[in-house]
Amino acid sequence: MSARKGPEVITFGCRLNAFESEVIRRHATAAGLADAVIVNSCAVTAEAMRQARQAIRKARRAHPGAKLIVTGCGAQVAAEMFAAMAEVDHVLGNAEKMRPESYRALAGGRGARVVVNDIASVRETAGHLIEGFEGRARAFIEVQTGCDHRCTFCIIPHGRGPSRSVPAETVVAQVRRLVANGCREVVLSGVDITAYGADLSVRTTLGDLVARILDAVPELPRLRLSSLDPVEVDDALFAQIAGEPRLMPHLHLSVQAGDDLILKRMKRRHRRDDIIRFCAAVRARRPEVVFGADFIAGFPTESETMFARTLDLVRVCDLTWLHVFPYSAREGTPAARMPQVPRAVRKDRAARLRALGKAQVARLHERLLGRAVAVLVERSDGETALGHSEEFASIRLEGAARPGDLVPARVTGERDGMLLAEPAAIPLREAV
């Protein structure tokens, strides 16, 4: 097999992993680690771990002579399991994967087979400056990692360690660099981004960071936020949501369930009414906001009546973009020791919740028909272009447009779950 110019990086999981994979790619390339496959794994569910193992076996078959490295949350919490796979050459922990010296050691043949240290001892996170994501008009930026909360279902604190924030000046520098290289939309990402700033020497908040970015980088057209914990949203962020049009009217909430007893058993910090009040408060400030939400179906002890309250919450709050996971027991978490809902019931409830989510998307699409939208083009074949509206609706745009173009358009129809639109002579600020 001929050597490749740079390593292949296979990414699983969250937006934060997507950002970190770009950092990994750059570190490994700079180190000269060319003939390599790096699997950046996720540990949030047992299925994610299964998919990582499957990808490792497939990668080894496709690249028998390559150096195969496993990293990410899966490697952090189950290093021994991945090290025991015959296909794997090296295992790197979550802290080690972000260090250039890790890849220099591997390229020079000096790297140990397993380098996974105690993530709980890590107290800082570095800001990694990258030029941008190749071929993308959108990019993710890591502003925070780790989590200080202990939801009973979650293994991620064991994979990511305590909450750590990237200093605001580093984040701003990253945004400037991305925008200078053609990026038109930046997504602030992290494990618990609403905890941003609490660990910094000068305490700050996510709302303060958003305000600073938008003030310091006026040429950035769009800023978007990844998953928010609604009880941590600060007054400064509410002010930005209400008054800053460059902050997209699309908020994704970490909800998980709509029943108070299940939320208590999950050890969440909100209850059902908190979500209802939050959504109402946001819409009072900015009516066009579209909400997404994370949900777990079939959490231990969940009855059909409890699950029905989750379905009802979606309707009451008019939640649209649903990320639904059937509950997956993670060894070492308190929820794994609770009475389990049968697997078939979990799958059925997840399917029903996803079906409701699909119906909610259809409702949004119906509201947008005939409306003006601003489409950020992400892909194009010269005749049609694909992108997203400010509400994060997927749009197929007729006509020639280039990735990175921000096109005012009018929605004309829908096909295969995607809105169709045509360019229109509408001022961009009206196309919202």
For the stretch 373-396, pLDDT in tens is: 999 999 888 789 999 999 999 999
Residue 128 lies inside a defined structural domain of this protein = no
For residues 14 and 85, state if they share a domain: yes
As a whole number, the mean pLDDT across the chain is: 89
Candidate from 85-89, 317-321, 424-428 with smallest mean pLDDT = 424-428
The secondary structure element, H or E, covering residue 360 is helix 343-368
Report the pLDDT value the prediction gives residue 424, as an integer from 0 to 100.
86
Cα 86 from chain centre: 31
Pairing of strands 406-415, 372-380: antiparallel
User: What percent helix, strand, coil does the chain show, rounded to 5?
Assistant: 40, 25, 40
Same domain, 146 and 272: yes
- Cβ-based burial of 383 (10 A; exposed 0-12, middle 13-18, buried ≥19): exposed
| Residue 126 lies inside a defined structural domain of this protein | no
Neighbours of 172 (CB within 10 A): 17
Q: Which residue has the higher pLDDT, 42 or 429?
A: 42
Q: How high is the pLDDT of residue 119?
A: 59
**Pairwise CA distance, residues 39 & 73, whole Å:** 11
- What is the extent of the structural domain holding 146? 138-368
Judge contact between 17 and 42, C-beta under 8 A: yes
Q: Is the pTM of this model over 0.85?
A: no
Residue 175 DSSP class = H
Residue 33 counted as domain residue = yes
Number of domains observed in the structure of the chain: 3
The lowest-confidence range among 12-26, 176-190, 201-215, 397-411 is 12-26
Query: With 70 as the cut, is the pLDDT of residue 142 above it?
Result: yes
Nearest to 185 by CA among 232, 147, 141, 242: 141
Q: In what order do the strands lie in the sheet with 8-11?
A: 8-11, 36-41, 67-72, 90-92, 114-115
Model confidence band, residue 175 (pLDDT cutoffs 50, 70, 90): very high
Q: Residue 1 domain-assigned? A: no
DSSP string, 46-93: HHHHHHHHHHHHHHHHH-TTSEEEEEEHHHHH-HHHHHTSTT-SEEE-
Q: CB–CB of 404/389 below 8 Å?
A: no
Residues 217, 172, single domain; the answer is yes
**pLDDT level of residue 136 (50, 70, 90 thresholds):** confident
**Lookup: tokens for 205:** 């908040």
pLDDT at 134 over 60: no
Residue 271 corresponds to which tokens in the numbers above?
Answer: 């209850």
